[in-house]
Each structure stands twice: as structure tokens, then as C-alpha cells.
Amino acid sequence: MQTRVGVVGAGLIGRAWAIVFARAGVPVRLYDVDEQALAAARDALRHSLDDLAASGLIGAPQEVLSRIRFEADLTQAMADVDYVQECGPENLEAKRQIYVQLEAAVASTTILASSTSGIAASRFTDHLQHPERCLVAHPVNPPYLIPLVEVVPTPDTTEAVVERTLRLMEAVDQAPILVRREVQGFILNRLQGALLNEALRLFRDGYVSAADLDKTVKHGLGLRWSFMGPFETIDLNAPRGVVDYGRRYGPLYQAVDGERGGDDPWEANTLTRLDAERRHELPAAQLAERQAWRDRRLMALIAHQRALGND
Amino acid sequence: MQTRVGVVGAGLIGRAWAIVFARAGVPVRLYDVDEQALAAARDALRHSLDDLAASGLIGAPQEVLSRIRFEADLTQAMADVDYVQECGPENLEAKRQIYVQLEAAVASTTILASSTSGIAASRFTDHLQHPERCLVAHPVNPPYLIPLVEVVPTPDTTEAVVERTLRLMEAVDQAPILVRREVQGFILNRLQGALLNEALRLFRDGYVSAADLDKTVKHGLGLRWSFMGPFETIDLNAPRGVVDYGRRYGPLYQAVDGERGGDDPWEANTLTRLDAERRHELPAAQLAERQAWRDRRLMALIAHQRALGND
């Protein structure tokens, strides 16, 4: 690949993206306005790459690191890149300013992709000279373990830019999807939110403990969903596919939908009670340890899936 | 274990339950009113047990099969069991009649658990002499691969019966949860329905293709959910746990919840379009083959999880 990638912001997401591109052989310029953040990023990256190598998910960590150039000068960093992954603050004004600086630093055809999870790209690119090369490429954290990337064009984005972005993501072993129009929360968080809203209501109304709700997903729903989507799952769960399934179970799901909603499942009271049950399961002092466990489990799951091949 | 289990109905679910109990060393009396169904069940069970042995999930299939006694006489079948797993038709009147017959065939302390996914047990046990030993134990199909069991007492069920059922499920390597009060769809299908309702709306409104929606879950949300629940996932996704997470993302999810609902995402038009995309991904003639693939993937995932231990 001839692609060179610029990553703007050396925080958690920017560093993770740097790993995604560099492990696929792509030269990366990792830019941050803060020199100290850059130095810290180098150490953090070395640590993450060693973990990935220990899990057998990458080969030579030093070689991957050598593809990442650390840059504190935006113009110099972005001089020769054809794709930028912007990982700046989740703040509309800050993004509008960053994009003006970016446009001045890159060629007119360089793709400017934002990692934003919450702001439609049209809102911070409509003032540019070339908004047609801007879009969202929203990762899940950390993208080097969870491959999904939501590619979301603005009304201005050209199809060619969308295509180049989808192909680049596939080339670096991510799993991109196309979100055809801008929508709040994109796809992943809307699905997660729909399930969480119902989960919180069931918990709040005393039907189930927090631990049992988690068991319902990890020992039930989540197993198939880790290798099939929800549509394929129901397609295979009725003798004649999705239409047959809808005839059998649609009325139940529609009824459940109708009797809920309106009230706010995210009220402080509910969250405080949920927190009490969670802290009983996992004391606050052990959160970091459990996050490390989660990452090990994710790495083991990805290694397991790779061993099975892409069927 | 001294427990002996009766399974009523030798269809798909009854056979799967017979495997669950027999592989754990529990003697099973598998009853069906239809002698031909019983003969077919023996062949089907042999086949399923061979598959499980080939995946390394059980040891000696013949030994497991030898623990299952095939019975066409209800009184004889249920004479010495202390737990019955009822897998009759999903029909209120049929169930009410079966339970009268069952009560006549078993001791007054024998637990009568129903596999029903859709009918509250209070509706088909309130006419019994001993409704206090009745409840729902709802499996996911197939229960010998997906361990979740939803245990749902009626208002009459005693705590001791609930406890004995939970302990039995744990003893046979299932993962039981307690649904504290009867609720339509229990927990698993309400969560699945909430996600499917939003998935169908996003598909119907043209934001995403069916294939990309499935990718969003299998390459994104579903990975962590296969070993953590949704509450643990968000608890680990904000620096200070669930309350912190709610402060950051609750407003978004609540907004998404509010702007949806009311309309029916399960309309025939939507399902027909979904079917067209699914049949493009997977022709109807390949459904059975893909179901076999799903079961192999599930077995491989379970074997992977076992190898990691229960942490």
C-alpha cells in the first residue's frame, strides 16, 4: 500500500488508531499539539504493542512502532498523508478550528475522517473549501481489538471518498460498515442504547438483579451475537427465515416496545442502585484490574476467531 | 446427585433438555405420548451426542444416552422423578390439561418446571392442588450449547422450589437467572426485542443494510457481550463506573428512545425487504447448512470459553 496516514491527537483513541494502521504496514504520523503527550504516547504504545505481541496478535512490536512518526508540528506531520484520522476533543468549536488548520496542511484530495462518536461531521466541515472529502470513521474502543468502524458520510461527501475510506479500513483489517445518512448515535450506539434502556427498566422495576441481567446476555444472547448479527440469528431461528420469525415473535416484541418508553431509565436513582450492585460485584478499586482482564479476554476471543478463519 | 428428572415431550426442546441432564449424570425419563416420536428422538439424540463428542464437549456419548429412558406411559415415566421439565405445545389449554395429568403422576413435592417462552406459569397451574411447586425454567435453544435458563416463579411458587430449581440448573452446568416476577417475554426476549426493534427501524429507514447491521453487532457490540453483560461493559467504559457512564451517555440513549417507538417495526413490508437482503446473503436452500455452521461455531466458542476457565 502507498497510503500514508496522519493521526491527529495522541490520546487513547489516537494511539489505538496508530496501532491499527502501523500493524498493517501503513506509515503513520501521530500528531499532538502537546509535546509531553507525544512522549507519553510513545511509552503507552510500546506497552500496548508488547501486550498484543504476547497474545500472538502482532509479530514484531518494535517494527510496528518504527512505522509511527511522532510529530508536534501539524504542517510537517500532514505534508504527505492521503488520509487523516482526527481524534480531537468532542467539542464542536474545537473541531471546526482543527479542520481549518487541517485543510491548510493537507492536499485537497486528502480524506479527513473524524473519530467522533457524537457530532455529525457536516456540523464541523461545512465551512471548508473541500467538505466533499470529509466524513466520520467512528471506531469502537480499542479499535485494534474491536474491528467495527462506522463510516458516515455527510450530505457533501462524495461516493469516491466513501469508497476509498471503506477500502482503506478493510485493507488495515477493520470491519467497516456504511451508515448511509447522518443519524444521532450512528448504528452501534443506537442498538446498544435500545438494549440498555430496556435493561435499566427491567432492573429498575425489580424484575432482575444487575448480575442476572448480565448473565442473560453473556450466557445467552451474546454468544451467537459474537459471530452472527441479530438479523442472521433470527433468520436461522425460524424454519422459513426472517418473515416466518416476524410472524411468530413480532407481535411480542412490538407489544413490549409499546408498553415501555416515555419515562427516563437513566434517572440518578436507578443508576445509584445499579452502582451499588456493581460495586458489590466489583469494588471500585478493582475496576482497572477488571479492564485489563476484559482486554485479555477480548484478545483471546479475537485469537480464537482468527484460528477458525473467516467463515 | 440423587435427582431423577422427567422430561415431557420428545421434540427439539425436550431432547435438548434430556442431553443437558444426562450429560451431567442425571437419570432422565423422556416421555412422549407418540411412540413414533420417541423412536425418532432416540436417533436424533444419538446424532446430537456424537456431534458434541466430536467437538470435545462431552466424553462418552453412548454412556450419556444410556441414562435416558424412553417412556410412552406418563404414570410409569414420572413415578420416581423429583423434577419435571415440561416441553409441551405452546398452548394454554393443552398445558392446563398436561399439568392435571402430571400432578396425578408425581409426588406432591416434585417440581413441575415449564419450558414455555411465552405463557406465564400461573395461567396453567392455578387450578392444581399444589401450584406452589410450579414455575418456568425457560431455556435458550439449544440449552446444551447456550447455558442461560430463566427461572420464573408464579405468585404461588415457594422460595424453596425456586432455590431447588436454581441449584439443580447450576448442578447440570446451566447458567440460571431469577426473574423475580412474571413479565411478558421474560428478560432475554425483552432485551433481544428492544435491540431488534431499533435494528428494524434503522434498516427500514434506510440508514444501514441488513448485512452491515449484522456486522455492527458481530464485529462490535457482540464481542464483549459474549463474556461480559451490558452493565459490566458500561461499568468498565467510563473512568468511574456506571454512574459516570450514565452522565456521559444517558442523555443520548434517552433521546434515541424518545424519538422512536409508536410505529410497528415488524410490518410485513419491512420484513419482506429484510428477507430479500438476507436471501441475497444466504439463499433459502442453504439455511440448514448455515444452522449447522452456527452450531459448530457455538460449540467452538463454548470450548474456547471452557479452556479459559470460569473467570
Distance, first Cα to last Cα, chain B: 26
User: How far is B165 from B83, CA to CA, in rounded Å?
Assistant: 8
Q: Residue A36 pLDDT more than 90? A: yes
pLDDT at A310: 61
Distances (CA, A) of A40 to A11, A43, A275: 9, 5, 32
Per-domain residue ranges of chain A: 5-178, 188-308
Q: CB under 8 Å, gap of 24 or more: what pairs does B286-290 form?
A: B287/A235, B287/A236, B287/A241, B290/A232, B290/A236
| Distance in angstroms (rounded) separating the CA atoms of residues A77 and A86 | 13
Provide the chain A residues 218-277 that lie in CB contact (below 8 A) with chain B.
218-232, 234-237, 240-243, 246, 249-258, 260-262, 264-266, 268, 271-272, 274-275
Task: List the single residue in A199, A287, A301 with the smallest CB-CB distance to B231.
Answer: A199
Grouping H, G, I as helix, E, B as strand and the rest as coil, residue A263 is: coil
Q: What pLDDT is attached to residue B62?
A: 96
Q: What is the pLDDT of residues A207-247, one digit of tens each?
A: 999 999 999 999 999 999 999 999 999 998 887 889 889 98
Element (H, E) at B148: strand B148-153
**Mean local confidence (pLDDT), A193-216:** 94
Nearest alpha carbon to residue A292 among A55, A58, A63, A115: A55
Q: In terms of pLDDT, which residue wins out, A291 or A210?
A: A210
The contacts of residue B235 (CB under 8 Å, 6+ apart) are: A278, A282, A287, B241, B242, B245
Interchain proximity B278–A240, CB inside 8 Å: no
A4, A29 Cβ separation under 8 angstroms: yes
Among A163-167, A253-257, B192-196, the minimum mean pLDDT is found in A253-257
Which tens digits make up the pLDDT trace of B190-206?
A: 999 999 999 999 999 99
Give the pLDDT score at A306.
87
What cell numbers appear for A97 in the block?
478550528
What is the mean predicted confidence (pLDDT) over A112-135?
A: 97
Contact by Cβ (8 Å): B82, B111: yes
Query: What's the CATH fold of domain B188-308?
Result: N-(1-d-carboxylethyl)-l-norvaline Dehydrogenase; domain 2 (1.10.1040)
pLDDT class of A2 with cuts at 50, 70, 90: confident
Shortest Cα–Cα distance, A106 to chain B (Å): 31
* Mean per-residue pLDDT over chain A, rounded: 93
pLDDT at A260 over 80: no
A3/A22 Cα distance (integer angstroms): 11
**Closest chain A residue to B274, measured at CA:** A242
Q: By percentage, how much of chain A surpasses pLDDT 70?
A: 98
Instruction: Express each pLDDT in A12-35 by its tens digit.
Output: 999 999 999 999 999 999 999 999
Low-confidence ranges of chain B (pLDDT < 70): 1, 260-262, 310-311
Distance CA A266, CA A190 (A): 15
Q: How many residues does chain B have?
A: 311
Instruction: Name which of A218, A226, A230 is nearest A191 in CA terms.
Output: A230
Which residue in chain B is spatially nearest to A249 when comparing CA positions?
A: B193
Q: What does B186-197 look like in DSSP terms, one character per residue?
A: TTHHHHHHHHHH
Rounded mean pLDDT, A263-278: 86
Domains B5-178 and B188-308 share a fold: no
Give pLDDT, residue B239.
78
Give the pLDDT confidence of B217-231 residue by residue, as tens digits. Answer: 999 999 999 999 999
| pLDDT at A299 exceeding the cut of 70 | yes
B17, B45 contact by CB (below 8 A): no
Question: Measured between beta carbons, which residues in chain A are less than 8 angstroms from residue B55?
Answer: none
> Which residue reads 421474560 in cell numbers?
B186
CB pairs under 8 A between A and B: 360
Tell me whether B175 touches chain A (CB under 8 Å).
yes
Q: Looking at chain B, which residue has its C-alpha nearest residue A264?
A: B254
Alpha helices (H) in chain A, listed in sequence order: 12-23, 35-54, 61-66, 74-77, 92-105, 122-125, 159-171, 188-204, 210-216, 222-225, 230-235, 242-259, 268-281, 287-308
Q: In what order do the strands lie in the sheet with B83-86?
A: B68-71, B28-31, B5-8, B83-86, B111-114, B134-139, B148-153, B175-178
Q: What is the pLDDT of residue B126?
A: 96
The architecture CATH gives domain B5-178: 3-Layer(aba) Sandwich (3.40)
Q: Which of B151, B201, B212 to mutate to test the interface with A (most CBs of A within 10 A)?
A: B212
Measured distance CA(A102)–CA(A195) in Å, rounded: 38
Of residues A254 and B86, more confidence is placed in: B86
